Amino acid sequence: MDGLSSLFSNVLNLDIKQVIMWIIGGILIFLAIKKKMEPTLLLPIGFGAILVNLPMSGAITQTTGEVVQEGPISILFENGIANELFPLLLFVGIGAMIDFGPLLSNPKLMIFGAAAQFGIFFTLSMASLFGFELKDAASIAIIGAADGPTSIFVANYFGTKYIGAIIVAAYSYMALVPIVQPPVIKLLTTKKERTIRMEYKAGNVSKTARIIFPIFVTVLTGLVAPNAVALIGFLMFGNLIRECGVLDSLSQTAQSVLSNLITLFLGITIAEKMQADAFLDPTTLLILGLGLVAFIFDTAGGVLFAKLINLFSRKKINPMIGAAGISAFPMSARVVHKLGLEEDSSNFLLTHTIGINVSGQIASVIAGGLILNLIAR
């Protein structure tokens, strides 16, 4: 009888907060499988949330008295995220996947990528208003980068205790771009504006330009925001592998095997910061709310900037394309394109929105780098 009771003694260590985390984990798994929302990340995060919230879970480091028993998830966190390795390696894969051709064909559209980072800086101020320390406010604001690895990198750089909530918010809102962006775009534009047609002129982009571009951006960003040079450098390294034309095998590996491998461990490792005591806090809800604010104001920034340009330009721009400047690729480009088709079934904005969307990728990393530079750790 004693043996039986000792077998189930750990059940007594169960806390209601841990059960709530199981439910949250279950919801994330449900959203990943049933709603197909970012399944590659939400599913591992969801499962990880259950795994680390089992009483006395051996998956995370446990300290009993003076005895420290290391857990694999904590080890992975220390060696993959705390030292910023996973997001950087993932960026090599992302860089190898991105075709900067549409951006190089029509570079002036890149300005919308910059405008659509407004939400990041606006949320920084809002988070400060709500009493977050500046480094925590910066970490929360970077949710607006709509870029998971950048969010992880910046949040980790500042060592914020809210990293779990920030990452969950970042990936959740990226999956919710089709729900978040359309109402904001419609609110800020008239039907007439949404039906503006834009001429597309395919420019010639030489292979040399494609090869020099990643090197140029790395050098430039490194000079302006040295703290971000690892982020942009790994992204552009991946792109250089893609464009050089002599490393196809490495490019394919970076795009598929490397990205999948890192993603596989990234999600479950993030769960280390989803332990009930730290995660179940009213602040988490506030962070989720601020993340939404960041996405909304990113979208608004892009749209309003396009409208501002229209005041001075003879050739009118469809202001909806400004919303594609957020980094969620290719979701945002497709959302804006589909909105255009809803208004006028023969108005194809995709060629413009793709270029802006990839510029948003670069701009979000630069924004992250500027935040690292502007705020002391």
Partner 1 sequence: MKIDTDAFLDSLPIMGNGLLGIFIVTVVIILGIYLLRALTSRKAEPVKPDAAAEAKEEPGVTGTVKKESAMDLMKEREKKDFLETEDTYNISNDL
Residue 125 lies near partner 1 (rule: CB under 8 A): yes
- For residue 344, count CB atoms less than 10 angstroms from its CB and return exposed for 0-12, middle for 13-18, buried for 19 or more: middle
DSSP 104-139: HHSGGGHHHHHHTTHHHHHHHHHHHHTT--HHHHHH
Question: CB under 8 A: which stretch of 23-31, 130-138, 158-166, 311-319 binds partner 1?
Answer: 130-138
**245: which residues sit within 8 A by CB, 6+ positions away?**
207
Nearest to 260 by CA among 26, 31, 25, 44: 44
Near partner 1 in 27-86, by CB under 8 A: 36, 38-41
> At its nearest, how many Å lie between partner 1 and the CB of residue 163?
18
Task: By CB under 8 A, name the one of 23, 56, 216, 226 that touches partner 1.
Answer: 216
Encoded amino acid at 151, one letter:
S
Q: Are 140 and 283 a contacting pair, CB within 8 Å? A: no
Residue range at the interface with partner 1 (CB under 8 A); choices 151-159, 220-228, 237-245, 272-280: 220-228
Q: What CA–CA distance (Å, rounded) separates 218 from 232?
A: 6
Minimum gap (Å) between residue 324 Cβ and partner 1: 14
Member of 23, 56, 85, 202 binding partner 1 (CB under 8 A): 202
Helix (H, G, I), strand (E, B) or coil at 15: coil
Rounded Cα–Cα distance for residues 65 and 59 (Å): 18
Question: 166-195: which residues touch partner 1 (CB under 8 A)?
Answer: 171, 174-175, 177
| The one among 160, 221, 251, 284 contacting partner 1 by CB under 8 A | 221
Residue entry with tokens 């394309």:
321
Q: Per rule CB under 8 A, is residue 124 in the interface with partner 1?
A: yes
Strands 62-64 and 67-69: antiparallel
Q: Taking CB under 8 A as the rule, does residue 104 contact partner 1?
A: yes
Among 204, 312, 314, 345, binds partner 1 (CB under 8 A): 204
Q: Under the criterion CB under 8 A, does residue 162 sit at the interface with partner 1?
A: no
Is 13 in contact with 56 (CB distance < 8 Å)?
yes
CB under 8 A: which stretch of 58-66, 103-111, 155-163, 290-298 binds partner 1? 103-111
Per DSSP, what are the bridge partners of residue 69?
62
Which segments within 174-312 are labelled E, that is strand? Answer: none
CB nearer to partner 1: give 36 or 161: 36
One residue of 18, 53, 74, 117 binding partner 1 per CB under 8 A: 117
Q: Which region, judged by CB under 8 A, interacts with partner 1, from 14-22, 50-58, 68-76, 355-363?
A: 355-363
Packing angle of the helix pair 134-141, 148-157 (nearest 10 deg): 170
Q: Does 366 bind partner 1 (CB under 8 A)?
A: yes
Q: Does 363 bind partner 1 (CB under 8 A)?
A: yes
By the rule CB under 8 A, 217 interacts with partner 1: yes
CB 152 to partner 1: min, Å: 12
Please give the structure tokens belonging to residue 258: 């490397």
The structure tokens 């502007």 sit at: 374
Q: Which is nearer to partner 1, 27 or 212 (CB)?
A: 212
- Give the whole-angstrom CA distance, residue 198 versus residue 353: 11
| Binding-site size, partner 1 (CB under 8 A) | 79
Contacts to partner 1 from residues 288-347, by CB under 8 A: 328-331, 334, 346
Instruction: Please identify which residue in 97, 229, 230, 247 interacts with partner 1, judged by CB under 8 A.
Output: 97
Residue 95 CB, shortest distance to partner 1, in Å, is 11
Element (H, E) at 1: none
